[in-house]
Amino acid sequence: MPQDTLLEVPKELIDFLLRHSSFVIAGHKEPDADCLGTQLALGSALRRLGKEVLLVNAGPFERHEITPFEHYFLPGPESPPRATASSDLVPEAAIIVDCSSADRLGSMAEQILNLPLAVVDHHASGERLQGVHFILPEVPAATILATALIQGLGLEITREEAEWLFLGLVTDTGFFRFLAPHQHIAFTTAAKLAQRGASPQGTDRFLSSGRSWESRQLIARLLQRSERLLEGSVLLTYQTAGDEKEFGRHRDSDALYRLLLAVEGVRVVVLVKEKPKGCAISFRATDSTDMGALAASFGGGGHQKASGAFVAEPLNQFLPRLRQSLLGIA
């Protein structure tokens, strides 16, 4: 077994993975690269141990950086038809990654939760699902846990796995911009992944290129629509269904957050997106304001500096309530 395992992996999790012969690995709906990178790398590692693996995600695969990986995953029943992996596998056990809440799995939650379960996550909020846990909220990305877990299984990380894991790590940490001083394990993990073949330069090029003109126009619209609250320390903006019809569907919120959080005096940015059944809200912070607690007040969750929620309310009804809540931020 490699002697430089980055974190201590629970023995019961190693035993769980070695005991079962087939798995479904599920991640949260509206996935990001940290979620999918963890799913892909763990699936690859388990296959190298002779296990059968099915990757599932309810989608949608809207983010620019994850669309190339869509074909690896089976959709949940709520997803629109698309080219997917297919399998007749009936798994013995399930692994949930990058979330600890059943509602974040989408419509496939019931089938997954009926199986023997392991949870690999780095979020503080969420319900405590039954099963084997590898949950460390102080770790800034699920891919860090996956890196340690693969090594804990006695495997060297392949180049492809390293690329998936590095992509998830740098997107969840904003290429290390969001890290607290105590989260230096991100750099240790990044060094290990680079040693195994991940390319920081190639990953940055992949993330920063290939954006459409329409996606830039949409960002301009959202910047113009931004509202300043609490003397400019909080910025609120929103995207309507009409914006999506005009510019197309794009998931490039990170570029918007970078621009708004760079404004002098801003400590919180909130983005609301109008959806067919309500509103999706994303919260970002530059200081110690707890975005996880703020999201929890709307039924969501996440991290201190980045979180999200969904409310089943029309945009025009929800925005006044949200503004009032934001005015109460200390």
Same domain, 62 and 203: yes
Same domain, 173 and 250: no
Q: Residue 87: give the domain boundaries.
A: 11-208
Rounded distance, CA 297 to CA 299, Å? 6
Residue 150 covered by a domain: yes
Please calculate the CA angle 214-247-216 and round it to the nearest 5 degrees.
30
pLDDT at 85 over 80: no
Rounded distance, CA 41 to CA 53, Å? 11
Residue 2 covered by a domain: no
Same domain, 249 and 275: yes
pLDDT at 87 over 70: no
Residue 126 covered by a domain: yes
pLDDT score, position 287: 85
Residue 267 covered by a domain: yes
What is the mean predicted confidence (pLDDT) over 66-78? Answer: 78
Q: With the C-alpha atoms ordered 113, 117, 120, 124, is the resulting torsion angle positive or negative?
A: positive
| Percent of the chain clearing pLDDT 70 (strictly above) | 93
pTM across the whole model: 0.83
Range among 102-116, 161-175, 201-215, 278-292 rated most confident: 161-175
pLDDT score, position 330: 65
CA 17 to chain centre: 23
Residue 220 covered by a domain: yes
Same domain, 69 and 199: yes
**43-46: long-range contacts at Cβ-Cβ below 8 A with a sequence spacing of 24 or more?**
44/158, 44/160, 44/161, 44/164, 45/149, 45/150, 45/153, 45/155, 45/157, 45/161, 46/17
Q: With the C-alpha atoms ordered 40, 147, 108, 300, is the resulting torsion angle positive or negative?
A: negative
Structure tokens at 129: 């699902």
The span from the first CA to the last CA of the chain, in angstroms, equals 49
Same domain, 82 and 171: yes
Rounded distance, CA 135 to CA 196, Å? 25
Same domain, 184 and 243: no
Domain boundary among 208, 231, 266: 208
Residue 5 covered by a domain: no
pLDDT score, position 77: 45
Strands 234-239 and 268-275, by their bridges, are: parallel
Same domain, 115 and 238: no
pLDDT score, position 78: 45
Same domain, 27 and 124: yes
Residue 293 covered by a domain: yes
Which of 53, 22, 29, 21 lies closest to 40, judged by CA? 53
pLDDT score, position 2: 43
Rounded distance, CA 159 to CA 162, Å? 5
From the CB of residue 207, how many other CB atoms can be counted at a distance below 10 Å? 17
Same domain, 187 and 309: no
Domain boundary among 208, 241, 262: 208
Domain count, the chain: 2
Same domain, 22 and 149: yes
Read off the pLDDT band of 61 (50, 70, 90).
confident
Rounded distance, CA 110 to CA 121, Å? 19
pLDDT score, position 83: 39
CATH (domain of 268) = 3.10.310.30
| Total residue length of the chain | 330
Angle (deg, nearest 10), helices 185-195 and 159-172: 150
pLDDT at 259 over 60: yes
Rounded distance, CA 271 to CA 254, Å? 11
Q: For residue 305, report the phi and psi dihedrals to the nearest 5 degrees.
A: -100, -10
Domain boundary among 208, 228, 261: 208
Residue 121 covered by a domain: yes
pLDDT at 84 over 60: no
Which of 9, 11, 28, 17 lies closest to 129, judged by CA? 28
CATH (domain of 123) = 3.90.1640.10
pLDDT digits (tens, 9 = 90+) for 201-217: 999 999 988 788 999 99
Say whether 328 sits in a helix, a strand or coil. Answer: coil
Say whether 136 sits in a helix, a strand or coil. Answer: coil
Beta carbons within 8 Å of 235's beta carbon, 6+ residues apart: 226, 227, 228, 229, 260, 263, 266, 268, 269, 270
Read off the pLDDT band of 64 (50, 70, 90).
confident
pLDDT score, position 81: 42
Same domain, 27 and 73: yes
Return the DSSP state at 63.
B
Structure tokens at 6: 């980055």
Same domain, 48 and 106: yes
The residue with greater pLDDT, 89 or 276, is 276
